[in-house]
A and B are shown apart, each in its own frame.
Chain A
Amino acid sequence: MNAVAASELPASPDRTLAERILAGDEGSFRLLYRRHTPRLHQLALRLVGGAEADAEDVVQDTWIKAVEKLDSFRWESAFGTWLHAIAVNVAREAMRRRGRRQEVEFPEQAEPAAPAPLERVEVMDLERAIAALPDGYRTVLVLHDVEGYTHEEIAEQLGVAAGTTKSQLFWARRAVRTQLADERRTT
C-alpha cells in the first residue's frame, strides 16, 4: 500500500493526489475530498432544493463515481469542473428517484404575468425561492446564475439543446421573481 498521511501533501496538485488515489491511497483521497467537498456540497444542496440528507447522498455518490472514473479523466478541464459535472448528473438521478422532478414548462398560452424585476433582493429570500423551483428549472438556474456556466455548457451537461436551457432559465427567473414578490407582499 502507498499510504500517505493527510498532512504530508497539503499543497499537492489534484492530479498528484488522483494518481495516488488510483493506487488506493486513502490519505490522498481525504486531501482531495477536503479540498473540493465544501463547494461540491453547496452545489449539491442547492441542486436538490436544500435537503441536507439528499445533498450528502449526492456528495457520496459523486465521489464514488469520480473515483471509479478517475483513470479515464484526461485532465483537459479542472478536476473541480469535472466533479461538478458528475454531481449534476448524480443530483438529477437522485431527484428522479425521489419523484420530485418536475420538467414541465409553462405553456405559452398560460404564460403568467411578468413580475417586476427586483432591485433589492435578500440572499436568504433568494435561497428559499431557488429551493422552491421545480427541479429542472432549479438545475438550470443554479448552473447559470449561481455557478456561471454558459447555456452551451449546461446543455452539454444535461444532454439537451441550448435553446431548452435558455427557455428553462427564462421561466426559472420569472418563477423566482414571482416567489420573491409574493414574499414581499406577505411581509
Chain B
Amino acid sequence: MNGNDDLTPGERRAFEALPRERAPRAGLEDRVVAALQRRGLLAIPLTSSAAQRRRLTPWLVGAVAAALALFVGGFAAGQYFGARSGADAALRGAQASGSAAEVAAHAERAGTMYVAALVALNQLSDSADAPARARARQVAIAALGSAAEEVAHLAPNDPLAAAVLRGLNERSKSQGPAPSSRSVVWF
C-alpha cells in the first residue's frame, strides 16, 4: 500500500465516480408486492370485483364457488332432505382413512354431494319461505368463515383465506354482533 493505506486522489475519484443507483428490471416490483401479499404484509385489493377476478386464477374462482356451494348445499340438504347422514358418512370415512389421499378423496366426494344438494336447493328455492332462505344464507356464510379459518391454519400465508376472513370481519363489524345462527353450523 502507499504507506498509510489511503486512497490516492485518482483512486478516490474513481470510487466517487461509481454509479450509486441502478434500476432493477421492471418485473421486480410486482414480484416483491406479490411476495408481501402472500405473507399477509400487504392487503390484496378487494375494491373491485373485476380487479379481484383478474387476480384470482380460474381454479381459485372455481374453488370459491365450489366452497360456497358446498356450504349452502350442505345446509339445504340438512334442511330439506335430511341428507346430513351422507355428509356424516363422508366425514366418518375421512376420519377413519389412513392416508392423505383417501382423506382428500372423501373431501372431494363430499364436496360433489354438497354441490348437487345446492342444485336441488336452487330448484326448490321458489317454494322455500324467506326466513328459511335467510337462515340458509347465514349458515353458509358462517360456515365459509369457519372453513377459511381452517385454511388459514393449514396455510397461514394463503391470500384467499385471508381475504375471506377480512371480508367476513368487515361484514360482522358493519352488521354488529354475529347472529346466533352461527352456532347451528354442524360440520
Q: Give residues in A with beta carbon < 8 Å to B.
A: 1, 3, 21, 23-26, 29-30, 33-34, 37-39, 41-42, 45, 55-56, 59-60, 63-64, 67-68, 114, 116-123, 126-127, 145-146, 169-170, 173-174, 177
Contact = CB atoms under 8 A, between A and B. Distances in A.
A67 B39 CA distance: 10
Contacts of A33: 29, 32-33
Contact of A64 (B17, B29, B39, B43): B39
Nearest to B27: A56
10 contacts: A1-B46, A29-B42, A41-B21, A41-B22, A64-B32, A117-B2, A119-B9, A121-B11, A123-B17, A126-B14
Interface of B: 1-2, 5, 7-11, 13-15, 17-25, 28-29, 31-33, 35-37, 39, 41-43, 45-47
A67 B45 contact: no
Given A33-B29, A42-B22, A117-B7, 12 more contacts: A1-B47, A38-B23, A39-B20, A59-B28, A64-B35, A64-B36, A67-B36, A118-B8, A118-B10, A119-B8, A121-B11, A127-B18
Contacts of B35: 60, 64
Contacts of B7: 117, 145, 173
Contacts of B43: 1, 3, 23-26
Contact of B15 (A55, A122, A126): A126
Contacts of B39: 64, 68
B28 A38 contact: no
Contacts of B24: 37-38, 41, 55-56, 59
Main secondary structure of the interface of A (DSSP, over half): helix
A157 to B, nearest CB: 18
A131 B26 CA distance: 24
Given A25-B43, A38-B22, A59-B28, A121 B5 contact: no
A89 to B, nearest CB: 18
Contacts of B25: 56
The 8 closest A-B pairs by CB, nearest first: A24-B43, A121-B14, A38-B21, A119-B10, A42-B22, A117-B2, A117-B8, A41-B24
